[in-house]
Amino acid sequence: MVNKEKNSATDNRTVVNIDAPNHVTGKSIYVDDIPGMEGMLYLKIFDSTIAHGKITSLDYSEAALVEGVEKIFSHKDITGENQIGGIIPDEPLLAEDEVHFMGQPILIIAADTEDAAEEALKKIKISFEPLPVITNPREAFAKGKILSPSRKFVLGDSAKAFSNCKYIFEGKTETNGQEHLYLETQGAYSMPTEHNSVKVFSSTQGPTAVQRTIARVLGVGMNNVEVDVARLGGGFGGKEDQASGWAAMAALVAYVMRRPAKCILHRMEDMRMTGKRNPYSSDYKIGLDEHFNILAYDVTFHQNGGAAADLSPAILERTLFHCTNSYHIPNVTATAHSCKTNLPPNTAFRGFGGPQGMFVIEAAIDHAAKQLGIDAMVIQQRNLLKDGSEFPYGQIVNECEAGSCWNEASSKFNIEKVKKTIATFNNQNDFLKKGLSVMPICFGISFTNTMMNHARALVHVYSDGTVGVSTGAVEMGQGVNTKMLQVAAETLGVNKSNIKLESTNTTRVANTSPTAASATADLNGKALLDACEQINERLHDFIRTLTGNDEDAIKIINEAVYINEEASVYTWKNIIQQAFMKRINLSAKGHYATPIIHYDKTIEKGHPFAYHVYGTSIHEVTVDCLRGTYEIDSVRIIHDAGKSINELIDLGQCEGGLVQGIGWMTMEEVVYNENGKLLSNALSTYKIPDIYSVPKEIDIEFLSTEKNNLAIMKSKAVGEPPLMYGIGSYFAIRNAVLAFNPSSNITYSSPITPEKVLMGLYHKSEQ
């Protein structure tokens, strides 16, 4: 099952990321590396110092006099609409009379130098009349502050089912936010172009969203705005929607001043002004029969949305879609509220609400297991999805790999033996305790908003036989450009060295969905396939006119032309030259829209996902019970990769996702005080996993599951699913704490930081 044998460097499936050499030699270009043009303005943002209040006075006359300051923009200087809300128009670009979070932009300073802009910043005088600050989603909900209508998914009849349950357990969970910490901070560089237009280089996952937002803010057509993206130094969801504001600022200044303008956030500005993963506060109730079958599950989610909707309504929806993770539960009532608080608008982050939903069902199962005196894995395994199971949203499970991943992991990594070794270790050690957990995952692939699941690609074959490929995909480190290159090379039969991946540009490929939902390679790859096939068809027809036999079967492999399976005198290059002379169209635009998917929000039922990605991870940790510190000893994973198009890249995605998930669950602690001020506002106070805190051993094996699904060349999406393996490390640490102190009151609250571990280790029950 597991395919490890093929590893030759010439194998298409182990192609090295085309960006790797430039990344490691510092040649890759990010927005701030684009050389500034003559007359370029530097932007600085003046942002709110309180989390909620009315602006009673604002005086920037002195700041405007600083030498080098060209203009200070307030909301009154916006030529179009002061609105950047993506799903719901509830977010001004610049605050007007009220501020709703600390870090909310109020003014833009445009100056000849960064120093002048910084200097001006200090001279702005503002006063506020403070209003009550809410940071807690439950409190917001109790006060009726919601960002979008609440949602409810119902399967079966959980109220009735609970009355047939032998065991019922209820509880609460908390998951905290997560800072994206992309290496490249948010930023954009814009220049005025002819005919009332602007060109913008933006570090965005959503070039079209940036284009649409700029058009709205400037009050021009989308055809007046060209957005270009070479690559991102990471996005992780943080630039799916939240790149638009900075791009709109740079574009506004360029448009009004007729000068190039650059807006790049410094790290602490970025951390303060941008939203993070949505924290959730949730209630669960789980019911089981005497055989530990889960019969019923009720769950209520309170999502901390922050001060504006941003993508939170869509994130909320995905939480519901994944609220039963990879388990078959026949009776489910899941309710979700998006709560408005005075924090920066929270946003997409790898997993997009899915991880938050999955944590709760895992906590509920763990709770039941602890009370029943059994291992959580007994309940987990017993209730895994099978072909024919129904998800709470009505989609029927098929090509299910939940059981195969579990079984493969269990036998390959010998769970039974690990269990025994850990029990022995824990018996022999008083102040070191080990913990074990299993975390299965199931993640739906497609944008949950059906209309977003389409893409286009543009292929030019130049008359010398070289090829330029443009798609709507944004390269952000996940290797999508390399995958696109492989698709084009394989489909056209052209050597990779003759194909160039162009930047993502709204003028070349329009109306793109953001690079998100892990679906980028599927959507854009299939559009690219369509474009390449159109060109193939024209070339094959042309070759048949040369052979004079319109029955001939043509194939081009490695730039050699085969006719009826036999090598011919023709090569790719001479065929292209001849076709060009015969005025054959050597360009093609491909289009793809995912078939079969649909969803009816009015009844919350449908078939929203093209397919699901599965996997099983096994986590072993050791807790130092004197210090409360811990080490992740190992994480072993069987991952459902389909037939991976690029095993090196997909392995990197699994490792990166896993570690990012572990960070969210264990050490990354976003802290706001009760005034809505971000305390974890720098890398001295916000810790992400480094080489010392990653698992000592990571073993990831792909379950080769070449099936008839809608994945690109049968290679399943891989960007987000592995993040959710990280949840397993939380439960392994928790289990180690309980091995030391079985009566600990440690709650289901993440991240499980060393402080929380220490408190849990030494908690004394009241009796």
Of 8, 27, 19, residue with least CA distance to 652: 19
Distance CA 704, CA 581 (A): 45
> Which span (13-21, 280-288, 470-478, 624-632) binds ligand MTE, by CB under 6 A?
470-478
CB of 275 vs ligand MOS, minimal distance in Å: 12
- Which residue among 53, 85, 235, 355 contacts ligand MTE (CB under 6 A)? 235
CB of 709 vs ligand MOS, minimal distance in Å: 19
CB of 350 vs ligand LUZ, minimal distance in Å: 8
Q: Is 307 in the site for ligand MTE (CB under 6 A)?
A: no
Q: Is 103 in the site for ligand MOS (CB under 6 A)?
A: no
User: Whose Cβ is closer to ligand MOS: residue 297's or residue 349's?
Assistant: 349
| 767 CB neighbour count, 10 Å cutoff | 4
CB 516 within 8 A of CB 206: yes
> Which span (95-103, 343-351, 479-487, 566-574) binds ligand MOS, by CB under 6 A?
343-351
Q: Of ligand MOS, ligand MTE, ligand LUZ, none, which one does residue 447 interact with (CB within 5 to 8 Å by kind)?
A: ligand LUZ
Note the helical H segments in 32-177. 61-64, 114-121, 137-142, 158-162
Q: Residue with the closest Cβ to ligand LUZ?
A: 352
User: Whose Cβ is closer to ligand MTE: residue 117's or residue 651's?
Assistant: 651
CB of 349 vs ligand MOS, minimal distance in Å: 6
What one-character-per-residue DSSP string does 275-336 give? --BPPEEEEEEEEE-TT--EEEEEEEEEEEEESS-TTHHHHHHHHHHTTTTTB--SEEEEEE
CB 292 within 8 A of CB 371: no
CB of 391 vs ligand MOS, minimal distance in Å: 20
- Which residue among 209, 348, 363, 364 contacts ligand MOS (CB under 6 A)? 348
Length of the chain: 767
User: Whose Cβ is closer to ligand LUZ: residue 426's or residue 449's?
Assistant: 449
Distance CA 265, CA 727 (A): 31
CB of 617 vs ligand LUZ, minimal distance in Å: 20
* C-alpha gyration radius of the chain: 27
The 707-726 site mask, x for binding ligand MOS (CB under 6 A), equals -------------x------
Distance CA 735, CA 726 (A): 15
State the Cα torsion 356-361-363-364 to the nearest 10°.
150
Name residues whose C-beta falls within 8 Å of residue 473's C-beta, 6 or more positions apart in sequence. 455, 480, 481, 484, 504, 515, 520, 521, 523, 524
Q: Of ligand MOS, ligand MTE, ligand LUZ, none, which one does residue 521 interact with (CB within 5 to 8 Å by kind)?
A: ligand MTE
Distance CA 275, CA 178 (A): 9
Distance CA 454, CA 595 (A): 10
- Which residue among 135, 202, 205, 513 contacts ligand MOS (CB under 6 A)? 205
Number of residues that bind ligand MOS (CB under 6 A): 11
CB of 60 vs ligand LUZ, minimal distance in Å: 37
Distance CA 216, CA 445 (A): 31
Q: Is 352 in the site for ligand MOS (CB under 6 A)?
A: yes
- Which residue among 478, 644, 715, 750 contacts ligand MTE (CB under 6 A)? 478
User: Whose Cβ is closer to ligand MOS: residue 240's or residue 475's?
Assistant: 240
CB of 448 vs ligand LUZ, minimal distance in Å: 4
Instruction: Name the one residue in this structure whose structure tokens are 């043009």.
Output: 37
What is the enclosing helix (H) or strand (E) of 408? helix 402-412
User: Whose Cβ is closer to ligand MTE: residue 660's or residue 744's?
Assistant: 660
- Which tokens go with 282? 């949730």
Name residues whose C-beta falls within 8 Å of residue 182's C-beta, 6 or more positions apart in sequence. 232, 233, 234, 235, 236, 238, 239
Distance CA 729, CA 726 (A): 6
Q: Is 485 in the site for ligand MTE (CB under 6 A)?
A: no
Q: Is 521 in the site for ligand MTE (CB under 6 A)?
A: yes
Sign of CA dihedral 200, 202, 207, 213: negative
| Residue 720 appears among annotated catalytic residues | yes
> Which span (214-222, 234-242, 543-551, 618-626) binds ligand MOS, by CB under 6 A?
234-242
Name residues whose C-beta falls within 8 Å of residue 93's C-beta, 6 or more positions apart in sequence. 75, 78, 82, 83, 84, 105, 217, 245, 248, 249, 252
Q: Is 517 in the site for ligand MOS (CB under 6 A)?
A: yes
Give the three-class secondary structure for 239: coil
CB 212 within 8 A of CB 245: no
Q: Of ligand LUZ, ligand MOS, ligand MTE, none, which one does residue 262 interact with (CB within 5 to 8 Å by kind)?
A: none
Q: Is 234 in the site for ligand MTE (CB under 6 A)?
A: yes
> Which span (92-100, 346-354, 434-442, 709-717) binds ligand MOS, by CB under 6 A?
346-354
CB of 232 vs ligand MTE, minimal distance in Å: 6
Q: Is 656 in the site for ligand MTE (CB under 6 A)?
A: yes
CB of 249 vs ligand LUZ, minimal distance in Å: 23
| 40 CB neighbour count, 10 Å cutoff | 17
- Which tokens go with 542? 């042309």
User: Whose Cβ is closer to ligand MTE: residue 498's or residue 515's?
Assistant: 515
User: Whose Cβ is closer to ligand MTE: residue 176's or residue 281's?
Assistant: 176
Name residues whose C-beta falls within 8 Å of residue 380's C-beta, 6 or more positions apart in sequence. 327, 365, 438, 440
Cross-strand partners of 458: 470, 589
Q: Is 608 in the site for ligand MTE (CB under 6 A)?
A: no
Backbone angles phi, psi at 441, to 5 degrees: -130, 155
Residues between 690 and 719 that touch ligand MTE (CB under 6 A): 717, 719
Number of residues that bind ligand MTE (CB under 6 A): 21
- Which residue among 350, 456, 612, 734 contacts ligand MOS (CB under 6 A)? 350
Sign of CA dihedral 567, 570, 572, 575: negative
User: Whose Cβ is closer to ligand LUZ: residue 303's or residue 410's?
Assistant: 303
CB of 319 vs ligand MOS, minimal distance in Å: 13
Give the three-class secondary structure for 245: helix
Q: Is 518 in the site for ligand MTE (CB under 6 A)?
A: yes
Instruction: Name the one residue in this structure whose structure tokens are 């941003």.
Output: 310
Max CA-CA distance within the chain?
94
Of 688, 618, 615, residue with least CA distance to 653: 615
User: Whose Cβ is closer to ligand LUZ: residue 281's or residue 312's?
Assistant: 312
- Using H for helix, E for strand and C for coil, what is the string for 144-180? CCEEEEEEEEEECCHHHHHCCCCEEEEEEEEECCCCC
User: Whose Cβ is closer to ligand MOS: residue 516's or residue 678's?
Assistant: 516
Q: Is 213 in the site for ligand MTE (CB under 6 A)?
A: no
Residues between 236 and 295 that touch ligand MOS (CB under 6 A): 237, 240
| 590 CB neighbour count, 10 Å cutoff | 23
Q: Active-site residue among 184, 390, 720, 766?
A: 720
User: Whose Cβ is closer to ligand MTE: residue 355's or residue 392's?
Assistant: 355
CB 595 within 8 A of CB 607: no
CB of 9 vs ligand MOS, minimal distance in Å: 30
User: Whose Cβ is closer to ligand MTE: residue 520's or residue 622's?
Assistant: 520
Distance CA 30, CA 470 (A): 18
User: Whose Cβ is closer to ligand MOS: residue 53's or residue 245's?
Assistant: 245
Q: Of ligand LUZ, ligand MTE, ligand MOS, none, which one does residue 318 interact with (CB within 5 to 8 Å by kind)?
A: ligand LUZ
Residues forming contacts to ligand LUZ in the complex (CB under 6 A) are 240, 314, 318, 348, 352, 447-449, 516-517
Please give the positions annotated as active site.
720
Residues that bind ligand MOS (CB under 6 A): 205, 235, 237, 240, 348-350, 352, 516-517, 720
Residues that bind ligand MTE (CB under 6 A): 234-237, 350, 476-478, 480, 515-521, 653, 656, 717, 719-720
